[in-house]
Amino acid sequence: MTDQELLDLLADLESDRVERKASFSDPERVSQAICAFANDMPNHQLPGVVFIGANDDGTCAGLQISDQLLLNLAHLRSDGRIVPIPSITVQKRLLNGCEMAVIVVRPSFAPPVRFHGRVWIRVGPRRAVASADEERRLTEKRRAGDLPFDITAVRSASLNDLDLDLFSKIYLPAALAPDVLARNNRTVEQQLSALRFATPGSTPPQAPTVLGILVVGKDVLGYIAGAYIQFCRIEGTELTDPIKDQKEISGPLPELLNELDNVLQAHTSVALDITAGPIEVQSPDYPPVALQQISRNAVMHRNYDGTNAPIRITWFSDRIEIQNPGGPFGQVTRANFGNPGITDYRNPHLAEALKNLGYVQRFGVGIALAKQALKTNGNPDLEYDVQDAHVLAVLRRRP
């Protein structure tokens, strides 16, 4: 945005596109404002702006804008509390001779956006939690032509193809704040639509989305053929060596990831060191955190559109190879792949589901956590082979 556009918003005390903060002393309220602007309840289809370093009347608060402050503000996007991940930019700007940190928030293509399980909206110059009716209106204003693949409709399926028991008992309590869930008097169809598991609108027939099938589908592979993990344990270092074990891991997301964790744990050998004193030291061949982060990253970032290839986990005697069908996406390239702070989401709403279910704690740190776990455990560094159509991660066994 130009300086003049920002100055006009800064001076407009009645605008529902502006939030002013003298400091960053209350990150929660800044996150609420980002969530509200992403929801764009008035349907301006224009960005909202949070000014850090401006008083309520738009005058300069004299706040020092440091690099650390800008990093902390940018971190609000990816700390996993605002889902789906909002589109924001954070800049240091000089407006009327006053330094300010400016957060520009673009309207979401797939509202409602939630912060801590609540849908925040802008009502005139104030924030508020959306009512059931306001949330329904947000759901129905999604721009279908620009939707990511993970929330496109699966027209060959019906809502009967979703496991509603799994949805209501496992996913709903994980996705919504307890107070929101307690006063939830909407129909199951409305709940599915609000959480992007079904197409919006009250006009039948509603259809499940790709997200709905992946997370709570009764027959996932019947509609998304490549949505499984091919696990193979090889007694040797080459693909032609004897196969010790192999499994096809599939099912709705919670079942798939739980079974995957069990398989990886069952194949991990742990050495015990009793020479260091009365406390046994356990040293696994591969740290569980690294295996979980890289395999879950593959589930989150793989390409579910245009390929029927599964995720392949091949466990050799000296290494584990995890191949993800889907190359770099968005701002991630072959050159910057794995660099801290460089991340993008081919499946942003699937990422939200993984976060809601507790399989992701923070966005954008999976590779860093895996590398740290490998180093602490004494394993060689993580290796990547990044191609246009796939990414191969290689974890080497602890010596």
- Break the chain into its structural domains and give their ranges: 3-128, 147-217, 229-396
Strand-pairing partners, residue 20, are 51
Q: What is the pLDDT of residues 237-279, one digit of tens each?
A: 999 999 999 999 999 999 999 999 999 999 998 866 655 555 6
Amino acid letter, residue 375: K
On whether the CB atoms of residues 168 and 188 are closer than 8 A, the answer is yes
What CATH number was assigned to the domain covering residues 3-128?
3.30.950.30
Tell me the pTM. 0.77
* Predicted pLDDT at 277: 55
Q: What is the pLDDT of residues 299-344, one digit of tens each?
A: 999 999 878 999 999 999 999 999 999 888 888 888 888 777 778 8
* Predicted pLDDT at 280: 58
C-alpha triplet 148, 350, 188: angle, nearest 5°: 95
Beta-carbon count within 10 A of 154 CB: 20
Strands 311-315 and 229-234: parallel
On whether the CB atoms of residues 253 and 357 are closer than 8 A, the answer is yes
* Predicted pLDDT at 54: 95
Place of tokens 């008097």: 185
What fold characterizes domain 229-396?
Heat Shock Protein 90 (3.30.565)
How far is CA 376 from each of CA 61, 232, 340, 364, 398, rounded to the nearest angstrom? Answer: 45, 26, 19, 20, 11
**Residue 82 dihedral angles phi and psi, to the nearest 5°:** -105, 115
Q: What's CA 50's distance to the chain center, in Å?
A: 23
Name the band, by pLDDT with cuts 50, 70 and 90, for residue 134.
confident
Q: Could you tell me what percent of the chain has a pLDDT over 70?
A: 94
Can you point out the beta strands (E) in 96-242? 98-106, 114-115, 120-123, 126-129, 229-234
Q: What is the pLDDT of residues 52-93, one digit of tens each?
A: 999 999 999 999 999 999 999 999 988 889 998 899 999 999
Res. 378: pLDDT tops 60:
yes
Residue 186 has which token pair? 């909407």
* Predicted pLDDT at 232: 97
